[in-house]
């Protein structure tokens, strides 16, 4: 749906004023620099180069904010952004010209009120602050007279827009029809046809049939574009075996992570505190008798099980209660035990055995981890040397000979499954491989595990149809799937035409799905089934769904019309009315703006536009 508000000429005015109307606001930008160079005009109203520059930059910045990615002018031109900005500026100028012609003007009081209400001009007290007003205009290189003229022009355009679109509303019959369409519900029944239901097995295809299938469906048997790539790389794991670590460093790593190697017995427990020992004892008796679980008393206190969880604790963590909780070798509830908070029951969920790994047993694990960490630091320190070699013109082969980086090559295709341990498993490599050209020089790049790599694109092999002999098994399997699907569709069509209308309850072989909405789903069937269900016209009608290589017979059992007077229907009706109103208003205003442009006449200096496009980045 179109939106009457665009962005352009008065972007700063709209930001400052915060005008929340259908709005012309933003057909261009204010001429902050006061420049008078023109890129075009509508009638006697000029569109300045400064307006176009600011509007274009606003669009580029808005795109970057929405996507999180910078956009070049070349990309913007491909997307049509400059043309959209020009159209917005032309529309704004046309309305400004129309306002001048018919004498639409805005009084000083309205301009004053808009400025006083602008959030950007409010001071610490929340009211208009003249110092803030002057400061904002100074930063934007605007005089007060220039800014107030822009506010006045914006308001005049708004008056025209309100006059054109005011009172335009969607007919009630259109709103009601659309709302009923959205809110309609249906009951359906479905059953799936499977290959074992076919009257005869699928015939064996001959060689000619398979070769014809191979040719007719070449896209299915075409190898993707291959990029032949040579690369060098080095990861911390590759360099780790060369790293030398002394015994003191390993001992220090062991001590720094002692909790991993030396842990006392621990238990997973929950604790529930009671107001008195008598209540705690009574609860324990019921738990022991099996008449109530521990969790029942938790809920009785208005708590949830997670509220009383203590997590993984040692005997020392529990203080005075530790001895009682660790005295048993079984899970379950113990207590009552006196705690700092009062008498409590402890529910032991699991018993975790103590960990006692001496340094000698942990040495190899410590060495592997420490070596990888040290290797990552070494690679970072040596990266500048690798970069210098590449910048000096060294080939990848020479870099591999002179450094620790390892040389490799592969045939890479986008979307291919990388081999175990392959450099293609790294996203950074795949991104670089996809965008590289044969003219690029290798550059050092980082991997997400601390490694580095550089690559060279040696050649591009275009998509190629694989020979029939190499893919004969795939061709036959594909033909069988297609032929099976075709015959199942034919069988479904026969059964659809022969099936009697439903009487009473659905037959047992049908699965029922009731109260389905247009945006809903039916469990166990392809998504297209819902759309097909709403395409059937009357109860008793049977349709065929062929999707996701499955064939479904679908029967419409009932249609439930929407009650627009129902409470839950009203929000939908209101939303439909708003959308249809806006759509009609947008169309009416668009026709009016185009007519104004044709009547006033448009002039556009394409050479000036091209010059600006070449400069804006």
- Domain identity same for 391 and 410: yes
Q: Which of 68-72, 108-112, 554-558, 580-584 has the lowest mean pLDDT?
A: 68-72
Q: How far apart are CA 287 and CA 582, in angstroms?
A: 65
- Domain identity same for 349 and 369: no
Question: Residues near 469 by Cβ (< 8 Å), separated by ≥ 6?
Answer: none
Q: How far apart are CA 455 and CA 406, in angstroms?
A: 12
pLDDT given for residue 245 in this prediction: 67
CATH for 327: 3.10.50.40
pLDDT given for residue 179 in this prediction: 92
For residue 396, give both structure tokens: 């990848």
204: phi then psi, degrees, rounded to nearest 5: -70, 125
pLDDT given for residue 368 in this prediction: 67
Mean pLDDT for 319-330 is 85
pLDDT given for residue 32 in this prediction: 33
Domain hosting residue 533, numbered range: 185-214+472-560
Q: Which element (helix H / strand E) includes 73? A: helix 73-79
Q: 79-93, 375-389, 478-492 — which one is most confidently predicted on average?
A: 478-492
Q: How far apart are CA 437 and CA 433, in angstroms?
A: 9
Q: How far apart are CA 241 and CA 400, in angstroms?
A: 18
- Domain identity same for 321 and 192: no
- Cβ atoms of 354 and 263 within 8 Å: the answer is yes
- Domain identity same for 42 and 127: yes
- Domain identity same for 42 and 141: yes
pLDDT given for residue 145 in this prediction: 84
pLDDT tens-digit map of 427-469: 999 999 999 999 999 999 999 888 999 999 999 999 999 999 9
For residue 255, give both structure tokens: 């001590």
Is residue 565 a part of any domain in this protein? no
- Domain identity same for 425 and 344: no
- Domain identity same for 53 and 162: yes
Is residue 339 a part of any domain in this protein? yes
Q: Which has the closest alpha carbon to 12: 100, 120, 84?
A: 120
Number of H helices, E strands in the chain: 22, 19
Is residue 230 a part of any domain in this protein? yes
CATH for 606: 1.10.4030
- Domain identity same for 344 and 367: no
Position 6 pLDDT exceeds 70: no
Q: 1-10, 130-139, 556-565 — which one is most confidently predicted on average?
A: 556-565
Q: How many domains does the chain have?
A: 4
pTM over 0.75: no
pLDDT given for residue 364 in this prediction: 66
pLDDT tens-digit map of 30-39: 333 334 488 8
pLDDT tens-digit map of 185-232: 999 999 999 999 999 999 999 999 999 999 999 999 999 999 999 999
């Amino acid at each position: 749906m179109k939106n009457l508000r665009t962005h352009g000429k008065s972007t700063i005015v709209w930001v400052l004023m915060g005008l929340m109307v259908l709005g012309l606001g933003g057909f261009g930008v204010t001429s902050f620099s006061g420049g008078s160079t023109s890129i075009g005009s509508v009638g006697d109203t000029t569109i300045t180069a400064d307006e176009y520059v600011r509007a274009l930059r606003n669009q580029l910045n808005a795109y970057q904010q929405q996507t999180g990615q910078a956009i070049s002018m070349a990309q913007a031109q491909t997307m049509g952004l400059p043309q959209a900005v020009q159209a917005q500026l032309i529309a704004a100028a046309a309305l400004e010209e129309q306002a001048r012609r018919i004498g639409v003007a805005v009084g000083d009081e309205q301009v004053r009120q808009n400025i006083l209400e602008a959030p950007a001009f409010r001071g610490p007290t929340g009211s208009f602050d003249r110092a803030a007003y002057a400061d904002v205009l100074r930063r934007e290189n605007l005089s007060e007279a220039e800014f107030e003229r822009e506010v006045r022009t914006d308001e005049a355009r708004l008056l025209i827009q309100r006059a054109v679109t005011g009172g335009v509303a969607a007919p009630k019959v259109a709103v009601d029809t659309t709302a009923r369409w959205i809110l309609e519900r249906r009951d359906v029944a479905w059953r799936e046809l499977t290959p074992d239901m076919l009257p005869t097995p699928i015939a064996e295809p001959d060689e000619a049939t398979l070769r014809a299938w191979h040719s007719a469906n070449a896209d299915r048997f075409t190898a993707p574009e291959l990029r032949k790539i040579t690369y060098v790389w080095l990861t911390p794991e590759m360099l780790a075996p060369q790293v030398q670590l002394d015994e003191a460093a390993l001992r220090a790593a062991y001590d720094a992570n002692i909790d991993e190697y030396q842990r006392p017995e621990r238990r997973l427990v929950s604790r529930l505190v009671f107001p008195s020992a008598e209540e705690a004892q009574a609860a324990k008796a019921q738990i022991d008798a099996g008449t109530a679980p521990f969790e029942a008393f938790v809920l009785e206190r208005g708590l949830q099980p997670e509220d009383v969880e203590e997590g993984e604790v040692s005997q020392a963590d529990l203080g005075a209660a530790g001895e009682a909780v660790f005295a048993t070798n079984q899970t379950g509830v113990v207590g009552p035990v006196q705690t700092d908070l009062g008498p409590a029951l402890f529910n032991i969920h699991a018993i975790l055995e103590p960990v006692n790994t001496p340094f000698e047993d942990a040495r190899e694990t410590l060495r592997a981890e420490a070596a990888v960490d040290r290797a990552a630091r070494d690679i970072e320190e040596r990266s500048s040397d690798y970069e210098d070699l590449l910048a000096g013109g060294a080939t990848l082969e020479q870099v591999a000979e002179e450094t620790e980086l390892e040389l490799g090559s592969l045939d890479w295709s986008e979307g291919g499954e990388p081999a175990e341990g392959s450099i293609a498993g790294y996203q950074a490599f795949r991104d670089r491989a996809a965008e590289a050209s044969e003219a690029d020089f290798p550059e050092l790049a980082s991997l997400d595990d601390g490694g580095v790599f550089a690559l060279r694109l040696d050649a591009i092999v275009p998509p190629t149809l694989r020979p029939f002999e190499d893919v004969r098994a795939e061709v036959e399997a594909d033909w069988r799937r297609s032929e099976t699907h075709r015959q199942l569709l034919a069988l479904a069509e026969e059964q659809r035409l022969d099936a009697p209308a439903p009487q009473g309850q659905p037959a047992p072989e049908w699965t029922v799905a009731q109260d389905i909405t247009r945006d809903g789903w039916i469990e166990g069937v392809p998504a297209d089934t819902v759309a097909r269900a709403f395409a059937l016209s009357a109860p008793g009608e049977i349709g065929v769904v062929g999707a996701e290589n499955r064939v479904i017979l679908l029967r419409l059992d009932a249609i439930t019309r929407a009650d627009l007077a129902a409470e839950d229907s009203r929000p939908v009706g209101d939303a439909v009315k708003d959308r249809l109103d806006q759509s009609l208003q947008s169309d009416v205003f668009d026709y009016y703006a185009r007519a104004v442009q044709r009547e006033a006449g448009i002039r556009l200096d394409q050479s000036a536009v091209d010059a600006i496009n070449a400069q804006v980045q």
